[in-house]
Amino acid sequence: MDLNLTSKTAVVTGASRGIGLATVRSLIAEGVRVMGAARTVTPELKESGALAVAVDLSTADGVTALMNSAAAELGGIDLLVNNVGGGDDVEPVGFLDTDDTQWTRIFDLNLLSAVRASRAALPGLIERRGSIVNVSSINSRLPAAGPVAYSAAKAALAALGKSLAEEFGPRGVRVNTVSPGVVRTAIWEDPAGFGGKVAAGAGAEHDAFLQQIPTAFGITTGRITEPHEVAALIVFLLSGVAGNINGADYVIDGGTVKTL
């Protein structure tokens, strides 16, 4: 299938690894010129062929620096992927153990980064009839499954996508959301990451915990999702092949979410 993305330009946030890096690689394979942004630029991002920018996207200044760089280096953008999220910084704690500082940090990174990047990009996207994909989470639909601030931020991100799609769809800009379940990334696989902390809290050995995730989470396919699978969905939604898909929220979770 020809996605007709050759010569398009894109910005991908949270691009140093996982879903973001897979999306960068998939877009480049389709002939897109990509700027990838992350707090830390990894060797993998440098070697991907993308223009790499090190910025803190939890701050307004960081987003402004990114979008200014995109304007200067790419001459504007056709596609925006708001992928950056706070998985590394999220602690597996309850509501009473989540203070205002944590709420603010999580919302700044998971919601306001997308608000700020979209606001900066939209004038150009309207002119180019571009597209945005926001990466949320099944936590937006299963708020009891994870830390409350993270789930609330992802639900707000999904709502933002729907609102932007309604406002800017008539002006030629499509906005869609992708909501992954558990994906094989460092968030789960790093013993010092969120998955490692959950395992430790349950008194489980990390590798054994990872192997039990499909059963424990009720994943119908019996396996967790790979980053390249999420990236393929994102790239499809960005493309003109998905030209009449707007305001949708696509779950990719192996069947974890059982409700309609």
Tell me: pLDDT of 41 over 80.
yes
Tell me: pLDDT of 243 over 70.
yes
The stretch 63-89 carries a mean pLDDT of: 93
DSSP state of 226: P
Round the average pLDDT of the chain to a whole number and report it.
95
DSSP state of 192: T
pLDDT over 90, % of the chain: 88
Stated pTM of the model: 0.97
Q: Pick 203 or 146 by higher pLDDT.
A: 203
Instruction: Give the tens place of pLDDT for each residue, 176-228.
Output: 999 999 999 998 999 988 888 888 888 889 999 999 999 999 999 999 999 99
Tell me: pLDDT of 9 over 70.
yes
In a 10 Å sphere around its CB, with 0-12 CB exposed, 13-18 middle and 19+ buried, how is residue 120 labelled? buried
The stretch 138-154 carries a mean pLDDT of: 91
The stretch 158-164 carries a mean pLDDT of: 98
Give catalytic residues, as residue numbers. Answer: 150
Q: What is the per-residue pLDDT for 200?
A: 87
CB-hemisphere CA count at 13 Å for 234? Answer: 32
**Whole-angstrom distance, CA of residue 142 vs CA of residue 182:** 13
Tell me: pLDDT of 88 over 70.
no
Q: By C-alpha distance, which of 17, 56, 49, 22 is closest to 35?
A: 49
Instruction: Give the tens place of pLDDT for each residue, 212-224.
Output: 999 999 999 999 9
Residue 175: enclosing H or E segment and its boundaries? strand 174-180
pLDDT over 70, % of the chain: 99
Tokens representing residue 179 in the block = 């909501």
The stretch 91-101 carries a mean pLDDT of: 93
Tokens representing residue 168 in the block = 């800017």
> What domains sit in the chain, N to C, each tagged with a CATH number?
9-182+226-252 (3.40.50.720)
Q: What is the per-residue pLDDT for 122?
A: 98
The stretch 54-82 carries a mean pLDDT of: 98
Q: What is the per-residue pLDDT for 33?
A: 98
Tell me: pLDDT of 20 over 90.
yes
Q: Pick 88 or 12 by higher pLDDT.
A: 12
